[in-house]
Amino acid sequence: MAQDPRALLQKAQKSLQSAGAGFSFFGGRDDKYQNAAELFIQAANAFKMQKQSAYPFEMNPTPREDNGATSLDGRLSKVRDWNADRRHRFLADMEAGKAFEQAAQIQTSKLNEPDDAANTLVDAFKAYRKDDPQAAVRCLNVAVDRYCAKGNFRRAASQKEIMGELYEQDLGDSKNALECYEAAAGWFEGDNANALANKLWLKVADVAAIEGDYYKAIENYEKVAEQSINNNLMKYSVKDYFLKAGICHLASGDLVAAQRGLERYRDMDPGFGTQREHMLLTDLCDAIEAKSQEQFTDKLFQYDQVSKLDKWKTTMLVRVKNSIEEEDDEFA
């Protein structure tokens, strides 16, 4: 049977107060602080269990009255049940996060166990993430700082990457996401985890491009491409990195740089000149030079029939297409 989280909180507070009350001639103060921290963690986990045991209300068809009309009372009851369940889960997460933080505070200030505190704060991050992402970031930042202080850069990088995903996906904060991905990539690289680093340099490039920092994006796509050309596991992705870098050149409005980039990519990988990605970039350069939106769109359509354009490429190529429209307007 699951323990009552609030009863555990009361025990934790009692143990904490007992440890801090007066002098202890027979020792045991650290034991009381340790016990308090463990009880706070137990309470946090009990709140998580309480959340998981919440009734999973299903949106089944609402019962109908004898006359065939949908029962308004039935619908309202279902909405009330769903809202109550959602509130229950939210409160359980918040209470769990707070209890983990209280445990981490004891581990840091009373027990001098910052490493344990860092791990506890990662648990607090997980509890807060869905409903209070700002609190989640606050907790994870402290944990990451501790991992860095201990020289555990790979673990710090893994958590920093997760923080970047939270900024990007949950908060829509591309600036902070970019900073997190860059820091994590650098730490992975410093720890000789090049495959993990390259995955994040590509994220840096993707986010930077969407944010309009095309030169940072180009730099990172080319960096990963250069490292991947002689890697049997990665060399097949090089053509995509070159394509993305080329699209960024076009988005920057520098057609000459785009054409020089294509020449450089052929030098780096002679096989690139025979790829559909190279042909597409060449065709798009020709369309831009001709100031023809129709030609640009037609070449994209032909390419998309064989290789579907993903969301990132579509977003970037729409920008390039719109820049052609603007030029048409100027010279109309």
Q: Which residue has the higher pLDDT, 207 or 79?
A: 207
pLDDT score, position 216:
98
pLDDT digits (tens, 9 = 90+) for 150-202: 999 999 999 999 999 999 999 999 999 999 999 999 999 999 999 999 999 99
pLDDT digits (tens, 9 = 90+) for 278-313: 999 999 999 999 999 999 999 999 999 999 999 999
Question: Is pLDDT at 63 greater than 70 in this prediction?
Answer: no
Nearest to 88 by CA among 129, 56, 62, 120: 56
Helices assigned H by DSSP within 21-71 = 29-52
pLDDT score, position 301:
97
Mean local confidence (pLDDT), 205-214: 98
pLDDT score, position 88:
74
CA distance 52 to 41: 17
Mean local confidence (pLDDT), 228-255: 96
CA distance 62 to 68: 11
Nearest to 209 by CA among 249, 259, 261: 249
3-state secondary structure 125-154: HHHHCCCCHHHHHHHHHHHHHHHHHCCCHH
Mean local confidence (pLDDT), 61-71: 48
Mean local confidence (pLDDT), 63-83: 52
Question: Is pLDDT at 133 greater than 60 in this prediction?
Answer: yes
pLDDT score, position 277:
98
> How many C-beta atoms lie closer than 10 Å to residue 236's C-beta?
10
pLDDT band at 25 (very low <50, low <70, confident <90, very high): low
Domain ranges within the chain, ordered by starting residue:
231-332
The average confidence (pLDDT) of the chain is: 90
pLDDT score, position 263:
98
pTM score of the predicted model: 0.85
pLDDT score, position 281:
98
